Amino acid sequence: MKIEEFKNSEPDLYSEIIAKERDRVKAWLVFIDVDKDKVVKAIKDGTDFTPTGVMIPTLEAQKKLDAFDKELDEIIDVKKFL
């Protein structure tokens, strides 16, 4: 069965599938700036966006922020502004 045939024969199911897929892709895209390669792979592979899956990019983002903060602290003497 072709997509158009399925869409016409099962419009409610088709709409539900499309909505869930859009939601999955949007959830992954939130982390595109954290790890583009992993996000693109997860989207292409159809990997579900799960609580466990979200923790990995979240922790990676936090590590990048921590490294950035440390670098800033080394450049700017923060104590002068406190």
Query: Half-sphere exposure of 60 toward its Cβ, with a 13 Å CA cutoff?
Result: 13
Run of H or E including 57: helix 51-75
- What letter represents residue 8's amino acid? N
The range of the structural domain enclosing residue 54 comes to 3-81
Q: For residue 21, what are its two tokens?
A: 């897929």
* Residue 60 CB partners (closer than 8 Å, separation 6+): 34, 35
Structural domains in the chain (count): 1
Instruction: Give the model confidence (pLDDT) of 24-82 as tens digits.
Output: 999 999 888 888 898 899 999 999 888 777 777 778 888 888 888 888 877 777 666 66
State pTM to two decimals: 0.65
